[in-house]
Each structure stands twice: as structure tokens, then as C-alpha cells.
Structure 1
């Protein structure tokens, strides 16, 4: 499959950026491959574990809270919660303060599954971060949080300026062009990321 950003990076050779994107994808894929069998063994489908984990950590909440926290489509969250309710993991009831809103709580079985899932996630994180110092773990978390914030801000800027962009197509670079323009020169990959020729 061709690179969605095009075959020639803007601003010169940026193979280190390709490596970074590839490493992020591969780490995410390895995590999913590791956790999917366990997820299925406790009766959870795609996307459902994070909802149980949120409820286990924060307690009862609205469907809207879950959708906003995980930046998901509310209708998709509603479908996942309906499936969790059918399995007996959550209870969905009208909110006391607003009958149009729904409150979601874990059942006893949902608590059991959430605890088991969270234990599996702790084990997975221990394996994933093996050999990292406490300082490196904090830095890694900071890098991920900053990358997420950058992407969210850029996405909002793109969607917020859609009308302006159609009037002046050169006003904002395409997402990949902006990333390439801001990326370090080839061979100067971020610390901890190998720079390959």
C-alpha cells in the first residue's frame, strides 16, 4: 500500500519520520495482538475493555462522559454499552438529574472482569516497558501526551478552518506536509528511535 503522504517527503529525505510512524504502528499492533486473545477469553469485544476500565476507575458516569473521554462517536459508545449490558457487565439507567441522559454503572460481574482486564493490562505494561527507567517511563508518557495534544489541536485547526481552506487552498499544508516540514533532518531521529538510512 502506498504511503498516504506520497512517495516523496516534502523538504527532503525524512526517512526517520517514516521509521517513527512505523514504530508507533508496530507497537500498537503488537499490543493489540498480545491483548486480543485475553480480551476474547473474558467475553469482551473490540473497544469494550476501555469502557469497563474507565467505569472501574471512576465509577458511574454518563454515556457522554465515556464518549468525550475516549474521543469516540456517542452512537458507537451506546452500541458498545448495549452489548456490555446484554453480557451483564454494566447497567444502564436514566440519569436522576436528566431523564434524557443515561448513567452507566458496573455490575458485580463487570467489576470482576474489569479487575481481571486491568491486571492483564498491568502485566502487559510491565512487559512493554521492561528495561525503561522511571525517568524514561515518565518521559515516554509525556511524549505520548504531547503527541496526542498536537494531533488533536491540528485536527481541530483543520476542521475549524475547512471553509477558509476551500477559499485559499494553499493556506494550510496537508497534515503529512506539516509533519515533514517540522521533522528533524534525516539521521537525527528523536532520542530512543533508531534512524535508518
Structure 2
């Protein structure tokens, strides 16, 4: 069987490592850029939704949100209908760094897809989306305390 996940993992770790180095200059630590981008793109998102979007547990979300809030990149606001619900938004400081993060992402995409036709790039995208959908069920099961059968 082809072990595609090793290749995906190596790609992800290489890109994440480069991003972490480059984003230090704008005050972001390991992986924080991802939270800023997702909150920017989904203003008012709640932690549970962010957890599902990024595929990390709620504890990790809570720590990351707290750190980004302390640095002034994001803010929490109570939901007008239910004060217990905290909605996440980027601040002006967060909005200013978004274009830099997106430029890095576009550059990395261009490098990764160098030599691919538009059709091939679309196929890669479609296959990766299918793979993610295949994994979503297991993610949800394990996240809610279930056990996968190997």
C-alpha cells in the first residue's frame, strides 16, 4: 500500500517550519498564523467551530486563543443572545498581518505546484479534499472519546 500520509506529513512539517521562522518577524509563534487566518476568514467563529476547522483539540484552541489575545491579534466578544458563548474576531493588528500571511501561502502553493498544469493542480486539490473527508469521521469519533478499530 502506498503511504501517502508520510509524504503529506513531510510537506506539512516543512511548510509549517518555514512559516514559523518567517512569521517570527510579525510576532507570531509556532502555528499561530493558522488561527489568525481562520478567525479572519470566519469572523465571529466560536472555539468549537475553530477546533473542527483546524483539526486540533479544544485545549489547544483555548491556549492559542489566549496567547493571540494577549498579543493583541484577536479578541473575544460575548454573543449578544447568549453571553456564555465567546465569539472570536481579529483586531486591527491581526488584520494588518493577514495579507503577509496570505502572500506566504500563495508563494508556498506556487512552489508546491511548480510544473503542474491547472488541471493537475485541481486534481491534487480534489484528491486531498476527498482524503480529508475520509478522515473527518475518525477525527470526530476520537475527538469525542471513541476508539478506532485497526
**TM-score above 0.5, yes or no:** yes
Alignment of 1:178-197 (within 5 A): none
RMSD: 2.4
Larger radius of gyration: 1
What SS does the corresponding residue of 1:98 show, helix, strand or coil?
coil
Unaligned runs of 5+ in 1: 1-13, 166-171, 175-197
Question: How many aligned residue pairs are there?
Answer: 149
C-alpha displacement at 1:123, in angstroms?
A: 1.1
Summarize deviations over 1:86-108 as a string: whole Å, max 9, x none: 11111112211111110111111
Unaligned runs of 5+ in 2: none
C-alpha displacement at 1:67, in angstroms?
A: 1.5
Paired position in structure 2 for 1:152: 136
Paired position in structure 2 for 1:182: none
What SS does the corresponding residue of 1:149 show, helix, strand or coil?
helix
Using the size of structure 2 for normalisation, the TM-score is 0.85
Paired position in structure 1 for 2:120: 136
Paired position in structure 2 for 1:124: 108
Summarize deviations over 1:72-120 as a string: whole Å, max 9, x none: 2222212111111111111112211111110111111110112211111
Paired position in structure 1 for 2:30: 46
Larger relative contact order (Cα-Cα within 8 Å, sequence gap ≥ 6) = 1
1:85–1:27 CA distance, 2 compared to 1 (3 A): same
- By percentage of residues, which structure has more helix? 2
Using the size of structure 1 for normalisation, the TM-score is 0.66
Q: Is the CA contact 1:88–1:109 (under 8 Å) kept in the aligned structure 2?
A: yes
